[in-house]
Amino acid sequence: MDPINYLKINPIGEGASYYEVYDSRTDAVVYGHPSRAWCVDWVIEEHLRYIAAEEKG
């Protein structure tokens, strides 16, 4: 399953001191960073890895 479908960033919105990416299937935190942009980047990288693996088949 494409990670972009189950990875979620919490809290939603800007202004927090720390953000976490969690797997909505297990509620486990898989990445955290003080910058929301870094969390978004991490989710995008996971999505791109998934696409590359699918293309290799």
The 10s digit of each residue's pLDDT in 1-57 is 999 999 999 998 888 999 999 999 999 999 999 999 999 999 999 999 999 999 997
pLDDT of residue 4: 96
Establish how many alpha carbons lie within 13 A of residue 45's alpha carbon, considering only the half-sphere containing its beta carbon.
8
pLDDT of residue 41: 98
Separate counts of helices (H) and strands (E) for the chain: 1, 3
In this structure, is the dihedral angle defined by the CA atoms of residues 44, 50, 51 and 53, taken in order, positive or negative?
positive
Number of domains present in the structure of the chain:
1
1/13 Cα distance (integer angstroms): 26
DSSP E strand stretches across 1-57: 7-10, 19-23, 28-33
Can you give the residue range of the structural domain that contains 9? Answer: 3-56
pLDDT of residue 12: 86
